[in-house]
Chains A and B, each alone.
Chain A
Amino acid sequence: MMSAESRPCIASKVRLRYDRKTGRTMLLYPEKGLVLNPTAAEIAKLCTGEHSVAVIVAQLASRYGKDTTAIESEVMKFLSALAERGLLQEAN
């Protein structure tokens, strides 16, 4: 389970890529790809195994000038969706 202390890391089968046709970030994995919205892309790029969920939330909150609680639920929702698809691993 993902918690504030977890340090999520994009799974080894995943690669983020700039899509020059749309200007969006794509999350690619075997036979599939997700087109990320700008916030999701920011979160995904921070999933390097270095940052805890709490740090990711704080970074986004300061960037968008929003309350951390609102951002936290959005971040958790996105990370859980990635984890369910096996697109995330937790760094130890």
Chain B
Amino acid sequence: MSDEPRPYTLVAELTYRCPLRCSYCSNPIDWAKRKNELDTETWLRVFREAEDLGVVGLNLTGGEPILRRDLEALIAGARKLDLYTNLITSGIPLSRARLEKFRAAGLDNVQVSVQDVDAKASDRIAGLSSFEKKLEVCGWVKDLGMPLTLNVVLHRDNLDHVAETIALAERLKADRLELANTQYLGWALINRRALLPTRDQLERARAVAAEARKRLRGSMEVLFVTPDYYTDYPKSCMDGWGRRFIVVSPEGLVLPCHAAHTLPGLKFDNVREHSLGTIWSESPGFNAFRGEAWMPEPCRSCDKRGVDFGGCRCQAYHLTGDAAATDPTCMLAPTHTLIETARGEALAGEPPPLRYRSVRIAAAR
């Protein structure tokens, strides 16, 4: 693969609306203010322009994408372009009949999230009674002969249930299990004290997942995404800024990642005003952190700069106040003590109660 920026994946955030209220939601805190959703025609144009740029995969996500009444039409449009289309959903509210329509329209993969391995714990995180319904949806996906990814976001309250989570995925005959540790941005950063696990918890879970990956090789893909708070070097966020991914927000902002519009001082463009191709190559926001010229030390002379691209710009901003800083999760970052302090807090006493994603907090910020 060449090193030139080329988008392979379009992440279409069809709506920020969602019946769930997960306390680690990655949507912006002020989601409720952003109401002006793109219409069907505009989305279909965005898909065409994305395919023109080289995009081969489409993630339909949100919020909850099935709240869009035109989802069938969007899937059909994507399929016409031969895009590999993945629906990322909570499964709420979905009927078997509608799922059949998605399949008929050409949907390639369904990713359903659960929040834990039993109803009580899962529903506590989701802020809505939904666990049993989600399992029913997973059953339909397999009944209809579609590939199923089960996604579970991990944190201190469910990380000790990884073995049970794997057993649940096996019972559901998932083709793929994503054990994704929380990324501490958005609502998860507000709730970090209540969500961040200890290193011991993480290591135990990682060992269980590694054993399962070996045992299930060839039948179920088991992914374990380590939280960057416990790695020595930062993650290669989005495979580098403006390199491989395009995210389009519900109101049409074109972003290098789903949280980029939370960074101050960057200008992002809207698909209502420009084509995706123009935005990809010319948008000042997209170009802000491409390449290496923006990098401070120690990134600039680091031999890993082509591996992790300096880490996550949003994390740098939300933790240090400077979007161009080295990601503090890097042990070489001058601000790494911020991460060490957070790890220390994870060891200390009873965490505070969760704050749920809501309109009220959103409006207050």
Q: Which residues of A are interface residues toward B (Cβ below 8 A)? A: 11-13, 15, 17-21, 26, 28-31, 33, 35, 83-86
Contact = CB atoms under 8 A, between A and B. Distances in A.
Given A30-B111, A33-B57, A17 B221 contact: no
Q: 9 tightest CB-CB pairs across the interface, nearest first?
A: A13-B147, A28-B84, A21-B54, A30-B109, A86-B221, A13-B175, A86-B218, A12-B147, A30-B149
Interface residues of B, number: 24
A28 B56 contact: yes
A17 B1 contact: no
A13 B109 contact: yes
Q: Which of A20, A29, A31 gathers the greatest number of chain B CB atoms within 10 Å?
A: A31
B271 to A, nearest CB: 21
Contact of B57 (A20, A28, A83, A84): A28
Contacts of B84: 15, 17, 28-29, 33
11 contacts: A12-B175, A13-B176, A15-B108, A17-B82, A20-B54, A28-B108, A30-B176, A33-B8, A33-B84, A85-B218, A86-B176
Given A17-B84, A30-B111, A30-B149, A85 B57 contact: no
Q: Which of A11, A19, A86 gathers the greatest number of chain B CB atoms within 10 Å?
A: A86
Nearest to A85: B221
Contacts, number: 57
Contacts of A11: 147, 175
B78 to A, nearest CB: 12
A21 B217 CA distance: 32
A34 B146 CA distance: 21
A30 B147 CA distance: 9
A86 B216 CA distance: 9
Given A21-B6, A33-B8, 14 more contacts: A11-B147, A12-B146, A17-B56, A21-B54, A28-B56, A29-B84, A29-B109, A30-B109, A30-B111, A83-B218, A85-B221, A86-B176, A86-B218, A86-B220
A15 B344 CA distance: 46
Contacts of A35: 1
Contact of A12 (B1, B8, B145): B145
Nearest to B9: A31
Contacts of B54: 19-21
B86 interface: yes
Given A17-B56, A86-B218, A31 B8 contact: no
B129 interface: no
A86 B219 CA distance: 5
A26 B218 contact: no
Interface in B189-242: 217-221
Contacts of A21: 6, 54
A91 B146 CA distance: 17
Contacts of B220: 86
Given A12-B146, A15-B108, A30 B86 contact: yes
Contacts of B149: 30
A21 B5 CA distance: 13
Given A13-B108, A35-B1, A85-B221, A26 B56 contact: yes
A12 B175 CA distance: 10
Given A12-B145, A30-B147, A84 B86 contact: no
A13 B177 CA distance: 13
A63 to B, nearest CB: 26
Interface in B50-77: 54, 56-57
A84 B56 contact: no
Interface in B144-174: 145-147, 149
B258 to A, nearest CB: 15
Contacts of A85: 218, 221
A15 B108 CA distance: 8
Contacts of A19: 54, 56
Nearest to A88: B218
Contacts of A26: 56
Interface in B80-124: 82, 84, 86, 108-109, 111
